[in-house]
Amino acid sequence: MGPVESAAAEDGAGGLDRVHRVLAQPRVGMGPEAVAVDVRRRRAFVACSRSDAVTAVDLVRMTPVWRAGVGREPIPIVFDAPTGRLFTADARSDIVSVLDAGTGEPLARIAVGAYPAGLGYHPRLRRIFSGDTAAATITVVDADRLAPIGVIPAGLGAGSIAIDRRRDRGYCANFMAASLTVFDPVTLRPLDRIPVGRGPCKVVADPVADRLYVANSLENTVLWLSLADGRVGGSFPVERAPVGLAVSRDGRHVYVCNRGAGTVSVLDVRAGAESHRIRVGYGPGDCVIDPATGRLLVSNAGSGTLTIVDRPWLPGPEAPAGHPAVGRLLPGFALPDLRTGRIRTTREWAEKKYVINFFASW
């Protein structure tokens, strides 16, 4: 049993530690998106969409140990503990790739619908569910036979999939249809369509709070629904373009990857509000909680890194106040070029990146 999060934690000296710590940010590849954890081997696996590969990271040394090629643009990843296999949906190859999690050896390539961008997993049923974005379908894969066994109609932009194992209900986020498709993972029948906010990117089921969380990337909100009756219970405002979600094991905190802000919002479920934010790398795509340590693992699509955060439920130090000139337009000025005598102005470099080196002597 992993550690249970609390509102405060004692440090080694017996004092109160109110600061989360970024322990490491190993480079994993280009465009890292989803993350999965093998608790027994102490490894994390990152789907690197722009490298067309999966990178394995040793969570003790916090360094990569292997990288394996898959299809084009892997986005989601699932770890199947009983078989020690990894599954990635490779969006631009229309396949699900299967790897040996210990070595990275390729095991199978399974054809699914057009542009698969999300995966769901039901370990008891031994089934993997692929959200096929362009096909508006969910392809169901037998996790042992490594073969498709059915297709479920969904909505346009079908992607992220969450499974309520208590009731055997599946939920697929339809990005362009602004809805959730509810389906039966046993009979493979669609059951309902639930409207949500614009651009639902990620859905996560929390069995502790009995809630389903939905990241609406185009509305900058996280919606929550009751798993018992499917009714919308409320929403949380977050920063720009939330695309990834993870829930703590005790159901107390929800972690939201704000792709447009380079932060993770930490939502306190009991308080019903955001408690603090954690600055990570550029373009955070998704995150997961390491069950063994409670640490937060965040993939940074724009930085090519994996941020490992210790005790993420604790607020960090306040960010220093920025200079009042930050964010304002650069005032125009003109100076002579020391080599030619020509007058140069800031208008010559409008909309361009440049470096100004100020030198003074006295």
Q: H helices of the chain, where? A: none
What is d(CA 317, CA 192) in angstroms, rounded to the nearest whole number? 45
The predicted pLDDT at position 12 comes to: 33
Q: 54, 86 in Cβ contact below 8 A?
A: yes
Tokens of 155: 């909505």
Torsion of CA 107, 109, 110, 113, to 10 degrees: 150
Q: H helices of 54-211, where? A: none
Q: pLDDT tens digit string along 272-292? A: 999 999 999 999 999 999 999
* pLDDT for 18 beyond 50: no
Q: pLDDT tens digit string along 129-164? A: 999 999 999 999 999 999 999 999 999 999 999 999
* pLDDT for 348 beyond 50: yes
Beta strands in 39-115, from DSSP E residues, in sequence order: 43-48, 53-58, 63-69, 74-80, 85-90, 95-100, 106-111
Of 55, 88, 56, give the one whose Cα is nearest residue 71: 88
CATH architecture of 199-316: 7 Propeller (2.130)
DSSP 154-173: --TTEEEEEEETTTTEEEEE
3-state helix, strand, coil in the chain (%, to 5): 0, 50, 50
